[in-house]
Structure 1
Amino acid sequence: MVIPVHDVNPARRVPWVTYLLLIVNFLVFLRMPGVAGSATGEIGPVQLCRLEAFLQQWAAVPRELIHDRLPRLVPTGDVGTGPFGPRCLVGPPAYDKSPPLSVLTSMFLHGSWLHLLGNMLFLWIFGDNVEDRLGHVRFLLFYGICGYAAAYGFALASADSSAPLIGASGAVAGVLGAYLVLFPRARVWALVPFLFFLPLRLPAWVVLGLWFGLQAVYSYVTGVSQAGSVAFLAHVIGFVAGMLIGWPLRRGTLPPPELHGAQ
């Protein structure tokens, strides 16, 4: 998989919404129980139980989205003793939760530093140009629509799943899909693994096309095997949603400066 690090496609205005999304994602992550203090994502039993309770309350759960109701028992955040060691206790929900609203909150939750930094890297590189093309308010709405499409699309395919769905991946995938149709010829500096990472300047359609292809393959493999903890299908759905929304806006989009004479 190629790792993008910079695109040669300057924006005409300051991407305030992209900056705001980056800041909010980092601030929320730092407030999550346990994960921000662990570089590896490994946390102790107490923090793990608190994190499970936190995610159950604020993350999107496919079963809740489809049936629009909470389970009778949820993690309480407390730790008990079981035959095989510490275990997380469960009890009736002590909170009110709106499943549709949980999609919004889940878009700002991440399970590890790697999860957060990966999403924010792609948003940083590609978000400014899509925001520049859509405008600040429309970009914010676009971001939310892609996130909701990804979450509900995944939930429809996994209606019985009670695993929390977290991360900005679906919304960011929508940004990538829109970028692909709006700026397919923009040049992107990327690290390409070949014995070691080689920096190459590639067309955006190559970088994002490869990314989408891998997500589609992973989605199929994990769907067949029922394995994996990454919602690749949500990435695919978010990307397609971004392409569909961005497609009508292609006309009138200026090509990157280096492609029409400017350096």
Structure 2
Amino acid sequence: MFPLYDVNRARRPALVVKGLVLANALAFLLEYALGPEEVVRAYGFIPALFFQDPAGEAYRLFTSMFLHGGVFHILSNMWFLWVFGDNVEDRMGHGRFLLFYLLGGVAAALAQGVFTPFSTVPMIGASGAISAVLGAYYLLFPRAYVVTLVWFILPFTFVLPAGFYLGYWALLQFLQALLGVPGIAFWAHLGGFFFGLFTARAFTPRWYRY
């Protein structure tokens, strides 16, 4: 299932979401201009290195979330951010949302590191930070609906409750993490999601809480 758009329209322009999409796009172009393998090795999050020297390797917690492994990787990540991020930014406000997003990415990387502490494979991508946005959306907009594309022989669209869609998404990440499906940092997805779920209210102004 792939989200096309949510029916809950934000009231204010999503300036931070647009800025993050632009920053990721520019970082992607720079990454491939300089050589993706070298850039990923230099700026991706590597758990084994981080736990050997946390202070010296801390910069990777931030740089890794702006790197991507290919066109589909960045397009899918930015689409999820575009679909769900505007309403969360609207609810939190621009400054709070940016801080929330960055901390969510850090929490996601650390979660992956805890479960794979000896890994020397660089972890890259905005998925962890965006997973935090999904967790916040699940908490803040439980009655919203998402128009979802489902491909079964032919493509169909369904209008699903956001809570159902995101709950299904989180369960899928958990099952794949347990199965050890290679190539994707599923523990980072879960770490980001639960960071968003448990901290979103702290980043939301009091007059918006309910």
What TM-score bracket applies, with the shorter chain setting the length? over 0.9
CA displacement, residues 187-231 of structure 1 (integer Å, 9 cap, x when unaligned): 111112333221111110111111111111111101xxxx51110
Residues 101/247 of structure 1: CA separation in 2 closer, same or farther (3 Å cut): same
User: 1:155, CA displacement in angstroms?
Assistant: 0.8
* CA distance in structure 2 between the aligned counterparts of 1:216 and 1:147, rounded to whole angstroms: 18
Instruction: Indicate yes or no: 2:191 matched with 1:233.
Output: no
| Corresponding residue for residue 108 of structure 1 | 66
| Corresponding residue for residue 101 of structure 2 | 143
The structure having more radius of gyration, on CA atoms, is 1
Equivalent AA in structure 1 for residue 88 of structure 2: V
| Corresponding residue for residue 42 of structure 2 | 57
1:56-95 equivalences under 5 Å are 56-68=41-53
Q: Is the 1:186–1:204 Cα contact (8 Å) retained in structure 2? A: yes
Q: Is the 1:191–1:200 Cα contact (8 Å) retained in structure 2? A: yes
Higher fraction of helix:
2
| Corresponding residue for residue 28 of structure 1 | 27
Equivalent AA in structure 2 for residue 239 of structure 1: F
Residues 251/199 of structure 1: CA separation in 2 closer, same or farther (3 Å cut): farther
Structure 1 gaps, min length 5: 35-46, 70-96, 256-263
User: 1:32, CA displacement in angstroms?
Assistant: 1.5
Higher fraction of strand:
1
Structure 2 gaps, min length 5: none
User: 1:13, CA displacement in angstroms?
Assistant: 0.8
* CA distance in structure 2 between the aligned counterparts of 1:163 and 1:24, rounded to whole angstroms: 24
Count of aligned residue pairs for this structure pair: 209
* CA distance in structure 1 between the aligned counterparts of 2:207 and 2:49, rounded to whole angstroms: 41
Aligned with residue 213 of structure 1, among 142, 146, 171 = 171
Aligned with residue 160 of structure 1, among 118, 121, 141 = 118
Q: Is the 2:201–2:209 Cα contact (8 Å) retained in structure 1? A: no
* CA distance in structure 2 between the aligned counterparts of 1:196 and 1:240, rounded to whole angstroms: 34
| Corresponding residue for residue 87 of structure 1 | none
Q: Is the 1:126–1:175 Cα contact (8 Å) retained in structure 2? A: yes
| Corresponding residue for residue 86 of structure 1 | none
User: 1:254, CA displacement in angstroms?
Assistant: 8.2
* CA distance in structure 2 between the aligned counterparts of 1:138 and 1:247, rounded to whole angstroms: 11
- Report the TM-score when normalising by structure 2: 0.93
Q: Is the 2:43–2:64 Cα contact (8 Å) retained in structure 1? A: yes
Residue 107 of structure 1 aligns to a residue whose secondary structure is helix
